[in-house]
Amino acid sequence: MTNRDQRLPKEVFQIDSRVKTGWFSDEYLNNTARILSALAKENYKFGDNKSDLLDVDITEVKNGNLELEMQFFTRRKPFSVVVGVDEALAILEEGTGYFDENGNFVNTYKNLEVEAVRDGSMVDYDGNPLNVKPVLKIRGRYRNFAHLETVLLGVLSEPTRIATNVYSTLVASEGKDLLFFPARFAHYKMQGIHGYAHKIAVETYNKMHKKELPAFVSTHEQGSWWGGRGGGTVAHATIASFLGNTPETMMQFARIMPVETPRIALVDFHNDCVGETLKVMAKMFEKYWEAYEKGDTKEADKYKLYGVRPDTSGNMIDKCIEEPHTDDDFGVNPKLVWRLRKAIDNGYMDWENNFTCNDIMSKKKEVAKKWCEDIKIIVTGGFDVEKIKRFEKFKVPVDVYGVGSSLLKNDKKTNNDYTADVVRVKIHNKWYNLSKKGRKPCDNKELERVN
Indicate the pLDDT class of residue 2, thresholds 50, 70 and 90.
very low
CA angle 63-64-69, nearest 5°? Answer: 70
DSSP readout, 115-128? EE--TT-EEE--S-
Q: Are 344 and 275 in contact (CB under 8 A)?
A: no
pLDDT tens digits for range 337-386: 999 999 999 999 888 666 555 656 788 899 999 999 999 999 999 999 99
CA atoms of 138 and 147, how far apart (whole Å): 13
Query: Residues 279-295: what's their mean pLDDT?
Result: 96
Q: pTM for the complete prediction?
A: 0.93
CA atoms of 137 and 154, how far apart (whole Å): 16
Q: How many CB atoms lie within 10 A of CB 350?
A: 12
| CATH node for 10-159+412-450 | 3.20.140.10
Q: Are 59 and 104 in contact (CB under 8 A)?
A: no
Percentage of the chain lying above the pLDDT 90 cut:
92
Q: How many CB atoms lie within 10 A of CB 386?
A: 10
CA atoms of 87 and 44, how far apart (whole Å): 35
Residue in 182, 235, 196, 229 with CA at minimum distance from that of residue 81: 196
Classify 376 as helix, strand or coil: strand
Q: Could you tell me how many helices (H) and strands (E) the chain has, helices first? A: 11, 16
Q: What is the pLDDT of residue 350?
A: 82
Q: Classify residue 16 as exposed, middle or buried by CB count within 10 Å of its CB (0-12, 13-18, 19+).
A: middle
Q: How many CB atoms lie within 10 A of CB 177?
A: 18
CA atoms of 435 and 71, how far apart (whole Å): 11
Q: Rounded mean pLDDT of the chain? A: 94
- Beta bridge partner(s), residue 177: 400
CA atoms of 212 and 336, how far apart (whole Å): 29
CA atoms of 193 and 8, how far apart (whole Å): 12
Q: What is the pLDDT of residue 410?
A: 82
Q: Are 300 and 291 in contact (CB under 8 A)?
A: yes
CA angle 173-177-179, nearest 5°? Answer: 105
Phi, psi of 3 (to 5 degrees): -85, 105
pLDDT reading at 325 higher than 50: yes
- Beta bridge partner(s), residue 98: 106
Percentage of the chain lying above the pLDDT 70 cut:
96
pLDDT tens digits for range 248-273: 999 999 999 999 999 999 999 999 99
pLDDT reading at 9 higher than 50: yes
Could you tell me the CA-to-CA distances from 282 to 11, 315, 361 in Å, in that order?
50, 29, 16
DSSP readout, 184-224? GGS-GGGHHHHHHHHHHHHHHHHHHHT-----EESSTGGGT
- Beta bridge partner(s), residue 427: 430
> 83: alpha, beta or left, given left = phi > 0 and alpha = psi -120 to 50?
beta
pLDDT tens digits for range 409-447: 887 677 888 999 999 999 999 999 999 999 999 999 999
Q: What is the pLDDT of residue 352?
A: 66
Question: Domain spans of the chain?
Answer: 10-159+412-450, 164-407
Classify 254 as helix, strand or coil: helix
164-407 placed in CATH 3.20.20.70: yes
Q: What is the pLDDT of residue 4?
A: 62
Quote the distance between the C-alpha of residue 395 and its chain's center. Answer: 25
Classify 283 as helix, strand or coil: helix
Quote the distance between the C-alpha of residue 155 and its chain's center. Answer: 13
CA angle 112-116-117, nearest 5°? Answer: 170
pLDDT tens digits for range 69-117: 999 999 999 999 999 999 999 999 999 999 999 999 999 999 999 999 9
CA atoms of 2 and 196, how far apart (whole Å): 10
Helix axes 273-293, 359-373, angle to 10 degrees: 130
For residue 358, the one-letter residue type is: N
Indicate the pLDDT class of residue 1, thresholds 50, 70 and 90.
very low
Could you tell me the CA-to-CA distances from 419 to 42, 70, 147, 366 in Å, in that order?
32, 10, 15, 61
First to last CA, the chain: 24
Residue in 229, 166, 227 with CA at minimum distance from that of residue 200: 166
For residue 373, the one-letter residue type is: E
For residue 189, the one-letter residue type is: K
Instruction: Name, in order, each residue with C-beta under 8 angstroms of 189's C-beta and a sequence gap of 6 or more.
Output: none
pLDDT tens digits for range 188-221: 999 999 999 999 999 999 999 999 999 999 999 9
Q: Are 158 and 80 in contact (CB under 8 A)?
A: no
pLDDT reading at 177 higher than 60: yes
